[in-house]
Chain A
């Protein structure tokens, strides 16, 4: 299939030099990364870990010091690939003197969109991001969140195949954040590919299929969310709300079955859901706000096309003979990496960090912190469900090389069966 990989980076490095051409910062250090068609890929890392630099190289705004990048199988500076890319920068870099509509007009023109198509999309996008009421005000007067919204709208004006979002939820209120996450999921359903770059872990966890965690210019770990987050030293059992009596009985049973460190917690809802509920209720009672509106609808044109037909046609138009060139680039990339086979690759063997040599203790702790936090914020089930967390007596295994989670499930099942006899 052509362009199975929308983005491929191979041993990509970026070194910033000072005036005397001495290495000053090694922002990105020989990373291997790929983003496949139809997935939501999260690029995670603390501030200054090289995420933005990587994205800017993918977009052609920075030149790699070494290594290769192919975007849609072409070099990132190729203008034709931009037809299919939507980019939301980490801050809203927009003309402050234009209003929302003029901004979208401008970006629509950059895609050669004729007037009718442009107008149709602008109407939809303004409604979608809730700025249709304030579209005649100059962007310079917008709040940060409103600027993010118009930024998002401009990133979607071309109905992109590949959406690159750099910290999309900064400056957004929880509703906006939720909408962006919903949007990402809707776009994924519509067959779009999303590269999401963020340090807000909860956001990434909710929507991504795969992610890579960067630190110090290197990808420290990569894989699917499940692979990265499953804790092999703990099992969570959920059930409907139990009386204190039943709860104690259950704990007693479990402990008598030989399970150590059994703890029971009341189910909690997440602050995000609580907040959204409150706002939702307030809106139903007719309260209004002066800021951006809140429709939450996704513009039809973004979901009406199915990836391969609609948008693919754009690529086909631009590509034609170029598609072959793209394959050549991929081929050349492939040939140079004997240990990466794009065709036979499964999701576990995606990225280089699997072969990452023993990371320093400090880096390990960062990852620990990152993954730990993410696990704690994992989506909880509906409100009144108590959670029983028995900890297995077996010593904790490192999450990277742990046994297949399925085996654990089987083991746990037998314990539960015993308990409920």
Chain B
């Protein structure tokens, strides 16, 4: 047997051409059976010959890669075939997803190693960081968890409706991916930098012509490359499983349409405006006037100079009076009394017609008061003055149907043809509470947050997933730099703890701010942070003086919380998981903002701190 390439390739060509010619002759001369026999035999021979080649040249990097991919593919094929024969479809799904992730991992790894082949010191450090993660157990364990956990998710999702299964899978898988990678990044970065200083390996590196900031940059680049790789792997897995789940039988035709139109898509969301500008402000003014008469103690003030009693303007009201008033007006506006209607304006819809025939109105009708016995509400819509038909699914086609009764407190979607949108991109939607001739029903309300939205598709699920993964990656930029920064002045365990704390606060920033608001109130919520801090001793002593010891304690806790949240980025604002789960487009605006604030400002600030600390740090310790 030869180990030289030209003879090997010669034999390979012969194995393909000779049986090919023989088979062609046999087929042409009517010996079909013999022809196919030759082709099959030749296929077997060629496969064996190729396998042998892969074995002989397994020490060559790319041959090794091809060999491994081929082996994995073969194994997956065998398992999938067996699974299909046994009728275990979810098993087959798991196998195929894991195969996709494995192949993506191998190819991505090879690609990144190639990218780090350059001869710049930063690339050298990055490559070593990358190898460290892959070869040491920290990185590997997370890779394994990711590869196992993401494929396992669909097994645990058992909602009856397909749309919820798909939606929940997307939500949880993105959440799990983001969380796991963040933890891994923190562990990897803190460990790599802190342990390197601790074990003095850094001596050998930093006595070479590489600046200390370049050393840190290299670490960061390596970690981000690993994150890119793992996000790609996870992305491939999520994509494959989402598609696989979406192919499961839907509960009803509407369910099937919902999966395609409301989840596996990328939609732009518009929230309603006032139909008449200034209407809400006028409403607030009227209510305020009434309140001033009813409760002058709260809504009127006495001028200290002239002694004159005058009303407090809305903007100057304390937050605990102003916010509820505003909320009341908005929720009143978003509700429709029985047997009447209200007009909501959606504007900026000029582009909608480019993307399809319909825009979607997604709403959740809530009954204020006793809900109807069947928990359903009758609604009626007019768009720009024209009655709106309900389009339902029949035999795979959208057909006009009578308006159904909508389940109370559940999201529903109706389609509005784009022709109904005005040329100026405005759609005035009139919502009737109750239908023509319908029985009485209670007041109808929509949640101000997402109770009524107009959506239209601007792109496909695939690209949206890529964008969502990118936003996750941008979040990891911050996390990686956080780990590196902490490790420049702390040991591994302490740095880990600090990073965990900051990350948890950043990821839950939305909830944190909300709960702080509810926990303990400041005298004046509108003050800037420093003002609040200065005011703390006064507030604390005042509470103590009143004998409210617990409240005094709360003031302190609240201040600590405020200061802490002020110094972590609001990562929850850049969370793509719910967007993907609800089929919303991850907008360029969101990507831009995340890049600017998370990837730029926060990561940059941390990088500067890390570079300054590391530059000044004495890396050796007392040894006499």
> Do the two chains belong together in a single complex?
yes
Chain A proximity of B409: nearest CB distance (Å): 56
Chain A proximity of B109: nearest CB distance (Å): 15
A142 within 8 A of B: no
What A residues does B201 contact at CB under 8 A? Answer: 93-95
* Separation of A374 and B119 alpha carbons in the complex (Å): 46
What A residues does B207 contact at CB under 8 A? Answer: 59-61, 82, 85, 87
B286 within 8 A of A: no
B436 within 8 A of A: no
Do the beta carbons of A112 and B132 come within 8 Å of each other?
no
A89 within 8 A of B: yes
Q: How many A-B residue pairs have CB under 8 A?
A: 105
Do the beta carbons of B136 and A109 come within 8 Å of each other?
no
B204 within 8 A of A: yes
> Given A106-B128, A109-B124, do A61 and B620 touch, yes or no (CB 8 Å)?
yes
Partner of A118 from the list B119, B136, B623 (CB cut-off 8 Å) is B119
B618 within 8 A of A: yes
Residue with the highest number of chain B CB atoms closer than 10 Å, among A50, A107, A114: A107
Residue with the highest number of chain A CB atoms closer than 10 Å, among B120, B199, B201, B204: B204
Do the beta carbons of B619 and A61 come within 8 Å of each other?
yes
> Contact flags (1/0) for B43-66 with A, using CB distance below 8 Å?
000000000000000000000000
Tell me the residues in window 218-276 of chain B with beta carbons closer than 8 Å to chain A beta carbons: none
What A residues does B203 contact at CB under 8 A? Answer: 56, 59, 61, 87, 89, 93
B622 within 8 A of A: yes
Residue with the highest number of chain A CB atoms closer than 10 Å, among B123, B207, B619: B207
Closest to B214 in A: A79
* Separation of A102 and B134 alpha carbons in the complex (Å): 15
> Given A63-B618, A94-B201, A97-B136, do A112 and B208 touch, yes or no (CB 8 Å)?
no
Tell me the residues in window 85-132 of chain B with beta carbons closer than 8 Å to chain A beta carbons: 117-121, 123-125, 127-128, 131-132
Do the beta carbons of A83 and B209 come within 8 Å of each other?
yes
> Given A79-B209, A106-B128, do A27 and B622 touch, yes or no (CB 8 Å)?
yes
A385 within 8 A of B: no
Closest to B200 in A: A93
> Besides the contacts A83-B209, A91-B200, A158-B208, what 18 more A-B pairs have beta carbons closer than 8 Å?
A16-B624, A25-B622, A27-B622, A56-B203, A60-B206, A61-B203, A61-B206, A61-B620, A79-B210, A82-B209, A89-B204, A93-B199, A93-B200, A94-B204, A97-B131, A107-B205, A109-B124, A110-B124
B4 within 8 A of A: no
* Separation of A16 and B624 alpha carbons in the complex (Å): 10
Tell me the residues in window 40-67 of chain A with beta carbons closer than 8 Å to chain B beta carbons: 48-50, 52-53, 56, 59-63
Partner of A61 from the list B124, B128, B618, B622 (CB cut-off 8 Å) is B618
A340 within 8 A of B: no
What B residues does A268 contact at CB under 8 A? Answer: none
What B residues does A27 contact at CB under 8 A? Answer: 622-624
What A residues does B117 contact at CB under 8 A? Answer: 115
Residue with the highest number of chain A CB atoms closer than 10 Å, among B121, B202, B205, B208: B208
Do the beta carbons of A52 and B623 come within 8 Å of each other?
yes
B3 within 8 A of A: no
What A residues does B622 contact at CB under 8 A? Answer: 16, 24-25, 27
Do the beta carbons of B119 and A113 come within 8 Å of each other?
yes
* Separation of A61 and B199 alpha carbons in the complex (Å): 14
What A residues does B127 contact at CB under 8 A? Answer: 106, 109
A111 within 8 A of B: yes
Do the beta carbons of A62 and B136 come within 8 Å of each other?
no
* Separation of A170 and B515 alpha carbons in the complex (Å): 61
> Contact flags (1/0) for A73-101 with B, using CB distance below 8 Å?
00000011011010101010111011000
Chain A proximity of B616: nearest CB distance (Å): 8
Closest to A217 in B: B624
What B residues does A158 contact at CB under 8 A? Answer: 208
Chain B proximity of A265: nearest CB distance (Å): 40
Do the beta carbons of A56 and B135 come within 8 Å of each other?
no
Chain B proximity of A19: nearest CB distance (Å): 12
Chain B proximity of A183: nearest CB distance (Å): 19
What A residues does B131 contact at CB under 8 A? Answer: 97-98, 102
What A residues does B136 contact at CB under 8 A? Answer: 97
Chain B proximity of A36: nearest CB distance (Å): 21
Partner of A114 from the list B119, B132, B624 (CB cut-off 8 Å) is B119
What B residues does A13 contact at CB under 8 A? Answer: none
Do the beta carbons of B624 and A93 come within 8 Å of each other?
no
B330 within 8 A of A: no
Tell me the residues in window 168-195 of chain B with beta carbons closer than 8 Å to chain A beta carbons: none
Chain B proximity of A272: nearest CB distance (Å): 29
What B residues does A83 contact at CB under 8 A? Answer: 209
We find that the number of chain B residues with CB closer than 8 angstroms to chain A is: 33
Do the beta carbons of A93 and B206 come within 8 Å of each other?
no
A154 within 8 A of B: yes
* Separation of A89 and B205 alpha carbons in the complex (Å): 11
B152 within 8 A of A: no
Q: Which residues in B have some Cβ–Cβ distance to A below 8 Å?
A: 117-121, 123-125, 127-128, 131-132, 135-136, 199-211, 618-620, 622-624
Closest to A91 in B: B200
Do the beta carbons of A62 and B204 come within 8 Å of each other?
no
Closest to A58 in B: B207
Closest to B59 in A: A136
Chain A proximity of B64: nearest CB distance (Å): 13
What B residues does A25 contact at CB under 8 A? Answer: 622, 624
* Separation of A222 and B85 alpha carbons in the complex (Å): 85
Chain B proximity of A116: nearest CB distance (Å): 10
> Contact flags (1/0) for A18-50 with B, using CB distance below 8 Å?
000000110100000000000000000000111
Tell me the residues in window 280-321 of chain A with beta carbons closer than 8 Å to chain B beta carbons: none
What A residues does B199 contact at CB under 8 A? Answer: 93
Do the beta carbons of A50 and B209 come within 8 Å of each other?
no
Do the beta carbons of A110 and B620 come within 8 Å of each other?
no
Chain B proximity of A271: nearest CB distance (Å): 31
Chain B proximity of A328: nearest CB distance (Å): 21
What A residues does B620 contact at CB under 8 A? Answer: 53, 56, 61-62
What B residues does A49 contact at CB under 8 A? Answer: 624
What A residues does B135 contact at CB under 8 A? Answer: 97
Closest to A63 in B: B618
* Separation of A16 and B132 alpha carbons in the complex (Å): 33
Partner of A110 from the list B118, B132, B210, B619 (CB cut-off 8 Å) is B210
Do the beta carbons of A107 and B623 come within 8 Å of each other?
no
Chain A proximity of B101: nearest CB distance (Å): 24
Do the beta carbons of B128 and A110 come within 8 Å of each other?
no
* Separation of A63 and B617 alpha carbons in the complex (Å): 9
Residue with the highest number of chain B CB atoms closer than 10 Å, among A60, A108, A151: A60
Do the beta carbons of A87 and B204 come within 8 Å of each other?
yes
29 A–B contacts, CB within 8 A, in A order:
A16-B622, A24-B622, A25-B622, A49-B624, A59-B203, A60-B206, A61-B618, A61-B620, A79-B210, A79-B211, A82-B208, A85-B207, A87-B204, A89-B200, A89-B203, A89-B204, A93-B202, A93-B203, A93-B204, A95-B201, A98-B128, A98-B131, A102-B131, A107-B205, A109-B120, A109-B127, A110-B208, A110-B209, A111-B209
> Given A93-B201, A93-B204, A110-B121, do A48 and B624 touch, yes or no (CB 8 Å)?
yes
Partner of B205 from the list A79, A105, A110 (CB cut-off 8 Å) is A110
What A residues does B128 contact at CB under 8 A? Answer: 95, 98, 106
Closest to B215 in A: A110
Partner of A107 from the list B123, B202, B204, B619 (CB cut-off 8 Å) is B204
Closest to A110 in B: B208
Do the beta carbons of B618 and A62 come within 8 Å of each other?
yes
* Separation of A94 and B196 alpha carbons in the complex (Å): 9
> Given A61-B618, A106-B127, A115-B117, do A50 and B204 touch, yes or no (CB 8 Å)?
no
What A residues does B123 contact at CB under 8 A? Answer: 109
* Separation of A82 and B211 alpha carbons in the complex (Å): 10
Chain A proximity of B198: nearest CB distance (Å): 11
Partner of A80 from the list B121, B209, B624 (CB cut-off 8 Å) is B209
